[in-house]
């Protein structure tokens, strides 16, 4: 028995991916868990592990067994021919090789019966379909498919009776053919000349994804931002106390982002703040409330922004949260996140404090209902007990989707979060 190697989706919006590098070559023995290849999508790179053991073989050849263990390869022969499966959006399930061959031959994949698992179309299926069809040029096949013309009903005038583009157009719209032939030739517009000092570069896949997501969020959700000042005196003292114990236990340094993130998680788990930990679903007709917190943490990369997720953060101690957050952040920076590690967030935070940012309006990472922006901590004169003293004051900026959360509820959340950050021993209780 053979197994297909199928490119996984690295997120719900992923439409295509690119194989950067094969780690194994044809004929190599593969053990379960071995890295087969590296894939790049619009936001991250990912290594694909073998789900079984065996020998890597192409789809066009029978796959040998190794110690009676199934090989990792695309199946060559299926029990029966299945109709091609068309997914939502009209895309047929097919191998990359089959798609390329179909394009070259001008064959509509939706017409090709697939022999692979779940009706997946392979290159052999395309070849077999080609052999059963009348002889025609690739362009003629494409035009016929677009116009819904059965090639069997067309008489070919090409060499050996091959059907040409003209044969298809002659029976579909002879008047249009004559008109097109008589139409004047339109000269191509001259290439645009850029001014000196101007360079045009294409948008990267990541930037396109960010552009699409942020535009959708900005235009869809009516938002407002609440800004609060928080005294960091006690949190700074707590971090100093736990720095060495957590380093000794985990080998990792606890950061202010860790402490603030855990404070956010604890605050979100209060029943009165459940709408801050919610999502709009069913075309904004229903609200999905979460009894857990999957915390998204925005990570800036050289070419864009990604939001890895700490799943089940509400069940973690401080040291566990430090380990989990460092793990997904490190993977994000290395482009090694798995699909599940960058999806499913229920609330997100983004920290620009290290750049001296005093205040900003973060854009919600949908489908979250809110996002917390962390600004710089600045030594600031404040009045305490009637006296002016200098304290480390940090700015927090909460952007809220007004469709789910009202201003009063957002303010109550910030009051409780501020209290927890200024009294951080409660995080350890």
**What DSSP string describes 203-224?**
PPHHHHHHHHHHHHHHHHS-EE
For the chain, the first-to-last Cα distance in angstroms comes to 55
List all residues 6 or more positions away from 30 whose beta carbon is below 8 Å from its beta carbon.
24, 36, 50, 52, 53, 54, 55, 56, 71, 72
> How far from the centroid of its chain's Cα atoms is residue 348's Cα?
16
CA 377 to chain centre: 32
Q: 281: buried, middle or exposed (CB in 10 Å: 19+, 13-18, 0-12)?
A: exposed
In contact, 59 and 95? CB cutoff 8 Å: yes
Which residues lie below 8 Å from residue 328, measured CB to CB, with a gap of 6+? 297, 308, 309, 310, 337, 341
230 alpha carbon, distance to own chain's centre:
34
- State the residue for tokens 């021993």: 425
In a 3-state reduction of DSSP, which class is residue 229? Answer: strand
Is residue 177 within 8 Å of residue 157, measured between CB atoms? no
Residues 6+ apart with CB under 8 A from 256: 232, 235, 236, 239, 353, 374, 377
Query: What span, in angstroms and rounded, lies between the C-alpha atoms of 393 and 383?
Result: 12
Phi, psi of 16 (to 5 degrees): -155, 160
- Which one from 216, 273, 402, 419 is the annotated catalytic residue? 402
Q: Is 419 a catalytic residue?
A: no
| DSSP count for the chain of H helices, then E strands | 10, 17
The tokens for 170 are: 């002659």
Residues that are catalytic: 402
């Amino acid at each position: 028995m053979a197994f297909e190697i199928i490119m996984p989706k690295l997120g719900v919006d992923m439409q295509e991916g690119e194989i950067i590098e094969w780690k194994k070559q044809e004929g190599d023995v593969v053990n379960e868990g071995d890295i087969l290849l590296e894939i790049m999508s619009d936001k991250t790179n990912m290594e694909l592990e073998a789900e079984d053991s065996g020998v890597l073989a192409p789809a066009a050849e029978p796959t040998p067994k190794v110690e009676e263990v199934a090989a990792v390869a695309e199946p060559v022969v299926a029990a029966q021919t299945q109709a091609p499966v068309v997914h939502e959006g009209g895309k047929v399930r097919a191998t990359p090789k089959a798609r390329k061959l179909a394009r070259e031959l001008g064959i509509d994949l939706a017409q090709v019966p697939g022999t692979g698992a779940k009706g997946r179309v392979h290159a052999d299926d395309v070849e077999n379909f080609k052999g059963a069809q009348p002889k025609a040029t690739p362009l003629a096949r494409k035009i016929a498919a677009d116009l819904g013309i059965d090639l069997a009903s067309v008489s070919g005038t090409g060499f050996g009776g091959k059907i040409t583009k003209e044969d298809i157009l002659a029976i579909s719209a002879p008047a249009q053919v004559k008109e097109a032939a008589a139409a004047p030739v339109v000269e191509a517009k001259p290439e645009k000349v850029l001014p000196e000092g101007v360079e045009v570069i294409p948008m990267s896949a990541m930037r396109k994804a960010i552009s699409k997501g942020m535009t959708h969020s900005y235009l869809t959700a009516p938002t407002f931002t609440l800004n609060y000042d928080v005294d960091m005196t006690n949190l700074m003292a707590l971090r100093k106390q736990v720095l060495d114990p957590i380093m000794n236990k985990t080998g990792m340094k606890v950061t202010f982002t860790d402490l603030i993130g855990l404070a956010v998680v604890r605050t979100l788990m209060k029943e009165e703040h459940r709408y801050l930990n919610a999502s709009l679903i069913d075309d904004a007709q229903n609200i999905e409330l979460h009894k857990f917190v999957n915390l998204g943490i925005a990570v800036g990369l050289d070419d864009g922004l990604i939001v890895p997720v700490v799943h089940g953060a509400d069940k973690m101690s401080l040291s566990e949260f430090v380990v989990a957050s460092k793990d997904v952040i490190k993977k994000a920076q290395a482009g090694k996140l798995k699909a599940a590690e960058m999806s499913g967030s229920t609330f997100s935070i983004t920290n620009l404090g290290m750049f001296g940012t005093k205040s900003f309006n973060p854009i919600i990472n949908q489908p979250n209902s809110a996002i917390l922006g962390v600004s710089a901590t600045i030594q600031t004169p404040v009045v305490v007990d009637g006296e002016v003293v200098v304290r480390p004051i940090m700015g927090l900026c909460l952007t809220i989707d007004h469709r789910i959360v009202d201003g009063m509820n957002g303010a109550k959340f910030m009051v409780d979060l501020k209290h927890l950050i200024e009294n951080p021993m409660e995080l350890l209780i």
